[in-house]
Amino acid sequence: MKTDLSAEILYKGQYFFTELNNPIDISIPFGRTESPNAFYLGSPKYHAVEAGSFTGDVRRGGSCNCEDITFNPHGSGTHTECAGHITGERIYISKLLKQNFFLARLISVDSNAESITADSLKSVFADNANHAQALILRILPNNESKLQRIYSGTSPMWFDVSAVNYINSLGIDHILTDLPSLDKEDDPDLTAHKTFFGHPEKWNLEKTVTEMVYVPDTVSDGLYFLSLQPASFETDAAPSTPVLYPARLIA
Ligand SMILES: [Zn+2]
């Protein structure tokens, strides 16, 4: 059990072993040239600053690299969003999380139905015996095409309201998925988001949804510790780098 950087973590009365020197980054970057695309949102743009004699590009003689970046967090890479995505009141992701280390359960679901239902989740996640606070959902088949997939206009899978109600019933506060959205591409009501965040009467403002992750096939279904740290932007959603650490229950 000796590793370079290991830890025993006591979580809700159970001891877990984990190796902090074995991080698994499940983010998709907001790429310079290639990124996924959803909802027809514009691709990220990187521009070296030009101001007077200053050029923000060392390759072109500048003293340093300094770029303006334009992107939409919802369209082109891994992002974490909060209830502010669907509220009239401004709620920012920047200071939302009071905690950023969670026990998470990774599950995989086949893409042979048009949506994810409670039944499809129950078949692979019958109960939440370990009290995971986060659920990571990977759609099968899984491959690296997800790193650059064009979802716009393709009606990707979505979370049926029965699935979201089931997730709520398990006490899950953080959903992570490789899909571009919890919701159907053309659902103007964002039914799944609203059901998860508790619209209109049971708002839970500490929940998050992270979309467009990529979990490689080498990472098996099971329990992980999740470090979730969206970038500090004063808006509803921000680029995010979720990192997993395998969690093994110590008998
Ligand atoms: Zn989003």
Q: Per-residue DSSP letters for 21-66?
A: T--EE------SS---B-TTPPPPEEEE-EETTEES-GGGT-SS--
Q: Residue 107 Cα, ligand 1 centroid: separation in angstroms? A: 20
Residue 138 Cα, ligand 1 centroid: separation in angstroms? 16
CA dihedral angle for residue 188, residue 88, residue 171, residue 202, rounded to 10 degrees? -100
Distance between CA atoms of residues 83 and 89, nearest Å: 10
> According to the model, what pLDDT value does residue 95 have?
86
pLDDT at site 1: 54
- List CB contacts of 99: < 8 A, sequence separation 6 or more: none
pLDDT at 248: 96
What pTM was computed for the model? 0.96
- Among 157, 158, 132, 154, CA closest to 223: 132
What's the CA-to-centroid distance between 74 and ligand 1, angstroms?
A: 4
Cα(35)–Cα(47) distance, integer angstroms: 17
What is the whole-number distance in angstroms between the Cα of residue 126 and the centre of ligand 1? 27
**Cα–Cα nearest to 82, from 200, 240, 205:** 205
Residues with CB under 5 A from ligand 1 (ion): 74, 81, 211
Task: Indicate the SS3 state at residue 121.
Answer: helix
The tens place of each residue's pLDDT in the chain, 251 residues long, gives 556 899 999 999 999 999 999 999 999 999 999 999 999 999 999 999 999 999 999 999 999 999 999 999 999 999 999 999 999 999 999 989 999 999 999 999 999 899 999 999 999 999 999 999 999 999 999 999 999 999 999 999 999 999 999 999 999 999 999 999 999 999 999 999 999 999 999 999 999 999 999 999 999 999 999 999 999 999 999 999 999 999 999 97
What is d(CA 220, CA 205) in angstroms, rounded to the nearest whole number? Answer: 31
